[in-house]
Amino acid sequence: MNFGMDFAFYGPLMPLVFLLYNLGLIWHGNDSDCSWRLP
């Protein structure tokens, strides 16, 4: 799983985003580009 620009974009919110991601509240497209979007 490659964060790349997403990691730089979310910055300090990354822990929260990662938590929501693990809880399934944030969906992602391909693991290759990690295009996250709200449900």
Domain residue ranges in the chain = 5-37
What's the rounded Cα separation, in Å, for the pair 17 and 15?
Answer: 5
Q: How many CA atoms lie less than 13 Å away from 24 in the CB half-sphere?
A: 0
Amino acid at 18: F
Q: Does residue 15 carry a pLDDT above 60?
A: yes
pTM of the model: 0.31
More confident residue, 8 or 15: 15
